Structures are given as C-alpha cells and as structure tokens.
Structure 1
Amino acid sequence: MKVVVQVKLMPQAEQVGALSVTLRTVNEAANWVSAVAFERGVPREYELRKHTYGELRSRGLGAQAAQHIIKKTRDAYTTLRANIRAGNLGKPGSKRRTKAESKPIVFRPEAAQPYDDRCLSWQYEARTVSIWTTSGRIKNVRFACSPDALKTLRDHRQGESDLIERDGVFYLLATCDVPEAEQYEPGHFIGVDLGIANIATTSAGHKSAGRGLNRHRKRQLDLRRKLQAKGTKSAKRLLKKRNRREQRHAKNQNHIIAKTIVTEAERTSAGISLEELRGIRQRVRLRKPQRVALHSWAFAQLADFIVYKARRAGVPVVFVDPAYTSQQCCECGHIDKRNRVSQARFTCRNCGVVAHADRNASHNIARKGVAVWTAGRESRVPATP
C-alpha cells in the first residue's frame, strides 16, 4: 500500500536560496517542455525526450533532473487526457474543457519536482537530507517530522520524493510502500452515514462534527464572501491564504474522524460500511444554500482516509448503495419519504419507531454492508460439481 509521508525542511539561509532557485528553474524548464509537447501533439515520452533532452542539458540541468522534468510534463498530459475522458472537465465544447485543450499545461513556479535516490539521500538518524540543486548538491539540510513518520520513512520508503514549496516553506513528500495488515473476518459491520449537520454518524453511536465544526464552516464562508466582495489584490491574496488554511483544517478533521471510526471497528472486530458517494454533486439536486453546505466538505477525502487507515489495520471496508437509507426504517424496513420528518428526526409511519435520522440511516448502511460482504464471500466460493 502506497503512503505519502510529508516532512518539513528547515534549511539555512543560503540553502533556502538554492532550493528556491532550483524549483523555479526546473518549473520554467517544464513549461518549455510543455509548450514543445503541445506543439507536437503530445508525443510519447521517448519521442518527447529526443526533442527536449539536449536543450535541458544545455541549460545546465543535471541528467536526472532533465529526465524527471520530461516525465513530469508527460504525466501531466496523461492526467489531463484521463480527466477529459472521464468527463471531469465538462462535455465537449464546454468552456472549461475548451480552455484546458486549447493551450499547453502551465506549471507554477513552486510546483513539485520529483527526486530519485540519485538526486536525494536521507540520513534518518541525523534527520538531514542531501539534495541536488542547480547550484550543486547541498548537504545537511535538516528536516522535521513526527516519530511515527520517521519510522515509516526508515522502514518503508521507496521510489521518488517530491520537493514542493508552500508559502515560503519547503517540504519533501516521500512515497512509502507500507504492507497491509491481514484482513480479519468481521463479526458485524459499523455503518457510517455522511451528512451536512453531522459529518459522520456511525451505527456504533459515534457522532462527529455538529455545532462547533458547522459554526467554523459558516464563519469561514462569511469571511470568504466579504473578501470576494472587496475584490482588491490584498483581499484576493488573503482569500487564497484562508483557502489553504480551510483545506488544512478540513484535512485534519477528516483524519481525526477516520481514525476514530477505524479504531472503534478494530477494537470490536467489526467491518466498516460506507456509502458510495462518488458523483453525488452531479446526482443530487438541491437549493443554493444546501449546495454550498454540500460542496464545502471533502466527503471523498474522508472516505479515502477511512479506507487507507482500515487497510493498515486489517479492517474490512465495503461500499454500499446509499439509495433510500434515509427513508427506510431500520427496524421494520418500511420505506417512505415521509418517514424523514425533519433533518434530524425520523418517524416510521409503519411501526412508529422514532429515532435520530442519521443514526437510523447508519443502521441501514450497516445492514447493507453485511449483505454486500456476504454476497462477495459467497461469490468467491467455488461451485460444487
């Protein structure tokens, strides 16, 4: 299982300048390679290398750096084509898709640059790295990370690491190949209902978010509106800064929620049943205020965090169809859209059960998870002759 570990670099003053110049130089070169690729119809990597490698070397870039720039550019076009095929950039002729197809891909000056073991070496005990720059190789660049991250790096780091810059701070993103834990046979399943008022509600009784987090989200939305209304350069700069801060906050909360759910499942030898919410923004029709609330939280990120933490712990995870989970009674199975009296209240019109709507839905998701797991297990059993 691939896991990305992020470490923060703490270079000295002269090292900062070398790293900054290196990133800007390689991304400027990547923009030139991108223009060549676009002009030639995005050829294969080998052919693109024939048209660009010599020029990159003449600019003073090392052989490995030049190779990585070409590969990075070609991978960016591969990703673009995949997004176009998947419809992520709209239908043919749409403004967004036309804009993406009509010009070369552009790399930001501080965009990530990949490094392999020839360009980057780690000294784990000293917590330093030696890294290639356009000014030569610099050594003893200190880095900081948690003890768990350091252990993961030491035991499982493989492949390339990416150097990036965010707000003047440099980070290394290292790829680690962590073995998955052996998956156990679950005794039951914990259903997880993802929502707006409560980010995650489980059938085991855990409820994440609520008033505090929603107040934070509303406060951030009001601040964004004020800054957008101003429209000045400083307001736009502050808007970008706040946007990154919100993303970090949401990511941290999703990590906390995912860890809580996986820990509970592992403690009780249970599996986790999640709603298949891919494409929900395209399927659901809501009023504008509801759309804002729906789009303001990274539900897909939360699901991804739960999946990867569960794989590391050996916890089984299944995805189920979320259809009618909020309208069906978890006691008698009666489905009626009038059962959902309000956002928080569920009252069954058949058996009279009264429950919290999210808790009721989580029990339905848990039951569906058992059915999916059983069906999958039976499909793996060979038929008797």
Structure 2
Amino acid sequence: MRIVVQVKLLPSPEEAAALEATLHAANDAANWLSSQAQSRACDRDRTRMALQSLAYAELKARGWSAQPALHVIRKVADAYSTRKANLKAGNHGAKDTGRYRRIAGAPIRFRHDAAHPYDDRCLSWQIDTQTVSIWTTAGRIRNIRFVCSPGALRLIGESRKGESDLLHRDGAWFLIAGCEVSATPVNRRPSGWIGVDLGVNNIVTTSDEGEAFAGEALNKYRRRQIRIRAELQARGTKSAKRKLRKSARREARHAANINHIISKRIVAEAERTGRGIGLEDLTGIRERVRLRKPQRAALHSWAFAQLTAFIQYKAERAGVPFVRVDPAYTSQMCSWCGHTEKANRATQQLFVCRSCGVVAHADHNAARNVEARAKYVWAAVSQPHAADASGVPAASLALQGRAVDRQNTSIREISRVS
C-alpha cells in the first residue's frame, strides 16, 4: 500500500530563493502548456505523449533540463486527465449547466506556489545526514537539511518509492515523499465488527457501548474558531487580516491531529479484539443534505473524508477488515427489533423505538445498525454465493440495499443469527 510522508526543509535564505524561483518557473511553464493544451481539438491531444511532442522542444529552448521538462508535461497531462474524469463523473454538474461549460471551456490554472513533482534524477535523499540534494533553475543545491519524526525518517529510508513533491506553504518548505509499505494480510475471519457512526455533536460514536470520541470539547473549540474568524473579518484592519492569515491552517492542523487520534484508537481496538470496522459511506453528504445555516457551518467545518481515509489506511496496515455501508435510515431504524420510523428519533441524542419501546442514545443505536450492516456487507463480499434465509443471494441484496423493506429484513436476520 502507498502512503505519504511529509518532511520540513530548512533551507538558507539563498537556497529558499532558488527553490521559490524554481517553483514559480515550473508553474509558469505549466500555465503556458495548459493554455496550449486547452486549444487542442480533443482529449487525446492532451495526453502525455501528445503534449510531449508539442512542448518538449519549447521547454528545452526555455532552459529546462530534460527530466524537469518532462515533469512539467506530466503535471499538465495529469491535471487534464483528472478534470476529464471529474466531468465524466458529473462532479461539476450536467453537460448543459453553466458550471460544466465554464470548467470544461477554460484552461487549467496552476498557482505560482503550487506543488511540483521531483523524481530520483532531480532529487536525492541522504538519510544518515538528513539532507537532500535538489535540482533548481539556478543549478543543483546540495545538503539542504530536513527534519521529521523518527518514524517518518525510518519510512523514507526503508520504503520511499516514486516521486516526491516540493511544497511551499505558510512561508515554510516541505517535501512530500511517497512510500510503498507492505500491508498486513487481512483477517478474513473477524470475530465481530465495530460499527462507527459519524456525526456533528459527537464526531465518532462506536457500537462498543456507545463510546464517543471528540464530543463537546471539540465542538467548543470549533465554535470558538468560528467566532474569532467572524470578529476578525468584521474588523477588517491590517492586523486582523494578518492574524487571519496566521491562523488559516491552525484549525486544519488541529482537525488532522484529532482525526489521527480517533482513527488510531478505533483501529487499535479492532486489531486487539480481532474484529473488523464498519463505517458509513458519506460520499457526497454535503451535496445531499439540506440544513439550516447554523447546522451547515457545523457540517462543513469537519474533515469527515479525511477521518475516513485515516481509518481505512490504518486498518489496511494492521490487516483489519474494513467495509463501508449505506447510511440510509441508520438513525431511524431500531437496532434491537428492526422497526424503522422517523418518530423513533425523539431528539438529537435520544432514540425511542415506537415498536419495542427500547430507549438508547441515538448515535449508539446508529452505530449498532452500522455494525449489523457491516457483517452483512462482509458476508456478501467474502461469500458472494452464500444465500440468506429467504434464498436470495447475499450479493444481490447488498447491491439492492437502498430498498428499505429489504434492508430491514436483512438487519433483523443478522440480529437473530448473531
């Protein structure tokens, strides 16, 4: 499996100036080539080979060496491939919308300080001295120091493979290295599952007695950050804008740290008990839900996709089974009897089943539903020819999981078996 490791460079002022000039020159060249690529007739004219035949000689004439010129070409070609895939998937709207036409009809632009890739011909690592040698437009610079954690240093020394990206952010220089690590073989016979419910009041609640992570304390921090930003924006002075810039990534760093802590605890518990992890598939949740303005701010201020990615890659490294389940009606379905009704959700935190009368924390009930569905999805994936009590193949039921009545039947059958 592939993971990335970030290290911080400590260049001198002269070295930093050379790195900055190189980054600006690379992105200026990428913007020029992007304009040329946009004017091409069709998508096949924007592939790496087509752009290389178009621009390689021009980039060499501009003073670029062979390998850095190829990196500029690949960077632009990959950007257009990504845009093509997003347009095809409908991520920018339908073809007849203004947004689709605006994005498809404009050349891709690269910021002056956008990250730029390097391979082993342009960048070499000296692990023992913690220095790097890197190509710049002013020549090759050697012995630039870098700092990182001992674990990151070990990963770079043992598992680094492929390209590394040079990044300038908040006045600091970073290298982001790709590493190939061997994943632990997945436990194909988990002893059970940990259902994970994602929410706003409690970022994460598990099916283990409703254990909640990052609840009120984190919400207080988020509300405080929103209030501080609003006050600084309303003030509008130079010092206020300076403080806004200084704290721009503070909440993002805090969120990443909390997400790492949460994901590590969940995966460690699953590995210790030999269980798998079931997580709600919240892809596109921001576009699907309709919320009032205060709730909207709370929903958009947390990196749920990042938390999901952290749990998934940590689970893969530990050999813990990981599945995503359909989140539909998990908050309305009783995890004890399977009765589904909107009125079951009495309040934000209270779940009261109108059929069997069970009373539970709403997030804990949802996590139990996720746990049950994870068992069912895993059975459908690992035993595609197995059939449930009704004789219907499990894989077929999993694919048709959006049918609520069939979902309820499946969950009740699992509850009786387990």
Q: Normalized against structure 1, the TM-score is what?
A: 0.94
SS in 2 for 1:346: strand
Q: Is 1:64 matched up with 2:39?
A: no
Deviations 1:130-176 (A, max 9, x none): 11111111111111111111111111111111111002211111111
Point out the more displaced range, 155-164 or 334-343. Answer: 334-343
Distance 1:89 1:224, change over 3 A: farther
- Residue 243 of structure 1 deviates from its aligned partner by 3.5
Match of 2:383 in 1: 378
In 1, Cα distance between equivalents of 2:161 and 2:81: 23
Q: Is 1:243 matched up with 2:231?
A: no
- Residue 219 of structure 1 deviates from its aligned partner by 1.6
**What aligned pairs does 1:63-102 form with structure 2 within 5 A after superposition?**
63-102=66-105
SS in 2 for 1:338: helix
In 2, Cα distance between equivalents of 1:381 and 1:212: 45
SS in 1 for 2:265: helix
Point out the more displaced range, 13-22 or 38-47. Answer: 38-47
Point out the more displaced range, 325-334 or 361-370. Answer: 325-334
Q: Is 1:197 matched up with 2:201?
A: yes
Deviations 1:153-210 (A, max 9, x none): 1111111111110022111111111111011121000000000000000012431111
Contact 2:380 2:386 in 1 (8 A): no
Point out the more displaced range, 252-261 or 306-315. Answer: 252-261
SS in 1 for 2:138: coil
Q: Name structure 2 gaps, 5 residues minimum.
A: 388-392, 394-418
SS in 1 for 2:38: helix
In 2, Cα distance between equivalents of 1:24 and 1:312: 37
Amino acid at match of 2:181: V
Identity %: 56
Q: Is 1:28 matched up with 2:28?
A: yes
Match of 1:19 in 2: 19
Match of 2:110 in 1: 107
Distance 1:23 1:309, change over 3 A: same
In 1, Cα distance between equivalents of 2:81 and 2:346: 48
| Runs of 4+ residues over 6 Å off in structure 1 | 380-383
Match of 1:215 in 2: 220
Match of 1:8 in 2: 8
Deviations 1:343-385 (A, max 9, x none): 11111222222111111111111111111112222216799xx
Deviations 1:50-106 (A, max 9, x none): 221112112211110000001101111111111112222223354443332232111
Q: Normalized against structure 2, the TM-score is what?
A: 0.87
Amino acid at match of 1:6: Q
2:155 to 135, 138, 152: 152
In 2, Cα distance between equivalents of 1:245 and 1:85: 35
**What aligned pairs does 1:34-45 form with structure 2 within 5 A after superposition?**
34-41=34-41, 43=45, 44-45=47-48
Q: Is 1:171 matched up with 2:170?
A: no
In 2, Cα distance between equivalents of 1:300 and 1:24: 31
SS in 2 for 1:121: strand
Match of 1:364 in 2: 369
SS in 2 for 1:137: strand
Amino acid at match of 1:107: F
Match of 1:52 in 2: 55
Point out the more displaced range, 233-242 or 63-72. Answer: 233-242
Q: Name structure 1 gaps, 5 residues minimum.
A: none
In 1, Cα distance between equivalents of 2:385 and 2:252: 41
In 1, Cα distance between equivalents of 2:50 and 2:277: 47
Deviations 1:266-297 (A, max 9, x none): 11111001111112122222222222222221
SS in 1 for 2:330: coil
In 2, Cα distance between equivalents of 1:374 and 1:155: 36
Match of 2:400 in 1: none
RMSD: 2.0
Match of 2:411 in 1: none
Match of 2:303 in 1: 298
In 2, Cα distance between equivalents of 1:92 and 1:240: 37
